[in-house]
Structure 1
Amino acid sequence: MKRPRFIAEQARHAKGPLGRFVAFVMARETFAGNMRAIDALDVQPHDRVLDIGCGHGRSLGVLAARATGGHVAGADPSALMTEIAVERNRKLVKKGRIEVAIAGADHLPFADGTFDKALCIQVTYFWKHLDAALQEIARVMKPQGRLALMFRTDADKAATRAFPANIYCFRSLAETVAALEAAGFAVDTKHDPAAGQPEEPVLLLATKRAAGAGS
């Protein structure tokens, strides 16, 4: 079923009353995928964790409950989404356990080497420049920092038919793995084409290589 363009636009950059409703729906629809990525990251008590494209902010509270002695940050280009994320986590924001910034993946307002872990769930479709975004994510992560990246590939024909192509960019698994490696990540598991198409959405785990380390 084709998703209406106005809904797709709200998923990319939520605003207004409709955007608030979309955020409510997304908080339910995306939570299982978010938990899959969070579990895979194995967040430790003193980790500093970044949720890129944090949206409604439901995952931020889960991350803070695991990084009890660390720090959690969220970044989203939508002012409305960051407002909702702050509202949802108001107590932890006031305590300084969580911070939320209005920012896209290609321009993150954090210092080099800040984060031990990062996750990015179902938002790569909206990045005009995959390489630049992944390089920026690598910049703010510590050497050996872990990234969980979840997305649907262009092999998921149901998804590619359902969403407007001028809003959603579905990339191949090979293209995304190559971009991660070019940005300085080592992808933990590379899919074997002989095994067939991996489960959609795909979850990739990558580790930032130390300076001077080979691919």
Structure 2
Amino acid sequence: MTPPAASDRLAFVAGAVAAAPGERVLEVGCGHGVLVTALAAAVGQGSVVAVDRSPRMAAAAVRRNAAAVEAGRVRVLARPLTEAGLAAERVDAVVAVDVRAFWTPPAPEWDVVARVLAPGGRVVLGFSVMRPEDRARVPAAVARLAGERGFAVTATTAAATVPYETVAVELRRSACG
């Protein structure tokens, strides 16, 4: 049986990440691994590290991406990002969808991102707009918490996905960060 395609929401975020062949990507909160599949296809011989705090979700991501895992292009870790042991990693992009830890203090996840993101790299955070006030509130909270770690928002885009609008916030290291 062929696994279902990415939802409109995840396809939109994958487009916002714009992973290129050869890149190294970290997905935080990978869930069932649907976005991992799209990212692995985009990076080709690059690599994807996927982290999810739920062993059940990580196992599902491994099953969904079994060929890429076996080929060594995808690695799935079942633990919180702050405990994932990624100190030696360097990635070109970090992506997370609906991972509240990035906009809810104290947000130590940003410290990990600051350590693993390669120079010139980018962070893309997607979120579902569940309430109208989230459209401005979440990007503002992301900007504040990421700004404390030397990141600045470089783009915010939105898509009319179902059942909720999806917003993607892109960040890069600030000029003074």
- Normalised by the length of structure 1, the TM-score is 0.67
Pick the aligned partner of 1:77 from 53, 72, 96: 53
Amino acid at match of 2:10: N
**Contact 1:105 / 1:137 at 8 angstroms: preserved in 2?**
no
Please say if 1:178 is aligned against 2:106.
no
Distance 2:156 2:41 in 1: 31
Distance 1:62 1:172 in 2: 25
Distance 1:63 1:118 in 2: 11
**Contact 2:105 / 2:145 at 8 angstroms: preserved in 1?**
no
Unmatched segments (≥5 aa) in structure 2: 158-163
Q: CA deviation at 1:61?
A: 1.6
Structure index of larger Rg: 1
- The alignment covers a number of residue pairs equal to 167
Cα deviation per residue 1:81-105 (whole Å; 9 max; x = unaligned)? 0111111111111110110001223
Cα deviation per residue 1:59-94 (whole Å; 9 max; x = unaligned)? 112111111121111000000001111111111111
Q: Larger strand proportion, structure 1 or 2? A: 2
Q: CA deviation at 1:152?
A: 4.1
Cα distance change on mapping 1:200 and 1:181 into 2, 3 Å: farther
Pick the aligned partner of 2:22 from 46, 68, 71: 46
- Normalised by the length of structure 2, the TM-score is 0.80
Q: Larger helix proportion, structure 1 or 2? A: 1
Please name the residue that 1:196 is paired with. Answer: none
- Deviates most, 119-128 or 76-85: 119-128
Q: CA deviation at 1:130?
A: 4.5
- Share of identical aligned residues, percent? 29
Instruction: State the SS of the aligned residue for 2:15.
Output: helix
Over the aligned positions, Cα root-mean-square deviation in angstroms equals 2.8
Q: CA deviation at 1:54?
A: 0.3
Q: CA deviation at 1:106?
A: 2.9
Cα distance change on mapping 1:127 and 1:180 into 2, 3 Å: closer
Q: CA deviation at 1:48?
A: 0.2
Please say if 1:86 is aligned against 2:51.
no
Instruction: State the SS of the aligned residue for 2:61.
Output: helix
